[in-house]
Amino acid sequence: MSSFFKSRSAQITVLIVSFLLVFVPYFIPWGPLDWLSGKLMTIAAVTNAFTIVIAVYSQFRRSGRFINERRKGWVYHIYLLALMAIMTLSGFIFGQHAGAYEWLLLAVVTPLSSVIYGILAFYMSSAGARAFRARSPQSALLLIAGFVVLMYQAPLTGAFFPGIEGAATYLTDTFGMSVSRMFSISVSIGAIVLGVRMLTGKEVAFLGFGEGDE
């Protein structure tokens, strides 16, 4: 029995049935099917919540290997595991609204999170300042477009030169948006192709199978 559930065809069958249960109600609204689809999605949502346990377990295993083999940066992994243990235990023991957990969150996690985010602004500014060079006619065009949008993004500019909004909006609404749409469409088509490959059994790595495995 267990070998049946481990087989490739059984798992793909489960995948196809689950897919149809969620997919079909979008096109055929029928009460029982909607109900079944909703239940399946709730089960998936609850199951997903438990994946955090797998994530914690995987991190402990990975960091454990780093520490055992004394790989570069192994000390940081001890630090990481200690902090993970402290946060997890304080949350479980005292609860998320208790002083200990809230203090760790508000005094340690959130300021560090904000600092990392703040530092990004420096990296982005520096990279932008040094990358925007008119090395060719194409990059000169990019530079001009970037210059207009940057000027518009500075709030003072709009107050003195209201016309800059039109120029910047033109650039973002035409060139910027077309690129954005192209990206979205590419990702969506890629996802559909991947989905079809998974449903037809051509992509089985996500089930833990290699090529030719049954």
Partner 1 sequence: MNRMSDEGGIYKKMATYDKRWVYLALFAIVLYSLIRPIGMPIGISAQTKAYKTELDTLQEGDLVFSTWNMEFSGYMELKPGVLATHKIFIEKGVKLCIAFGHFEGVALPPEIFKQLKKWTDDYDYTEGEDYVIIGYVFPNEAAVAALAQDFHANVRVDWKGQSIEGTFLDEIQNAGDFDMISDYTTGLATTNLINHVVLQYGVPMVVNSIGVSVPGHLANLDAGLITALLASTRGGAELEFLINSPGPGLKSMDAFTFGHYSLIIFIIIGNIGHYGWTRRSGARERTGIR
Nearer to partner 1 by Cβ, of 1 and 159: the residue is 159
Least distance to partner 1 from the beta carbon of 90, Å? Answer: 12
> Nearer to partner 1 by C-beta: 109 or 141?
109
Smallest distance, partner 1 to C-beta of residue 89, A: 15
3-state SS record for 62-110: HHHHHHHCCCCCHHHHHHHHHHHHHHHHHHHHHCCCCHHHHHHHHHHHH
Closest contact distance (angstroms) between CB of 212 and partner 1 is 31
Q: Enter the tokens of residue 114.
A: 């904000």
From CA 146, how far away is CA 152, in angstroms rounded? Answer: 10
**Which is nearer to partner 1, 82 or 108 (by Cβ)?**
108
Nearest CB to partner 1, comparing residues 41 and 196? 41
Q: Which residues contact partner 1 by CB under 8 A?
A: 22, 26, 34, 37-39, 41-42, 44-45, 48-49, 96-97, 102, 105-106, 109-110, 113-114, 116-118, 121-122, 125-126, 128-130, 132-135, 143, 146-147, 150-151, 153-160, 162, 165, 169, 172-173, 176-177, 179-181, 183-184
Kindly state the smallest distance separating residue 99's Cβ from partner 1, in Å: 12
Torsion angle, CA of 103/109/114/117, rounded to 10 degrees? -170
Take residue 190 and report the two structure tokens written for it. Answer: 């890629």
- Reduce the DSSP state of residue 166 to 3 states and report it: helix
Q: Which residues contact 5 (CB under 8 A, 6 or more apart)?
A: 11
Minimum CB distance to partner 1, residue 121 (Å): 7
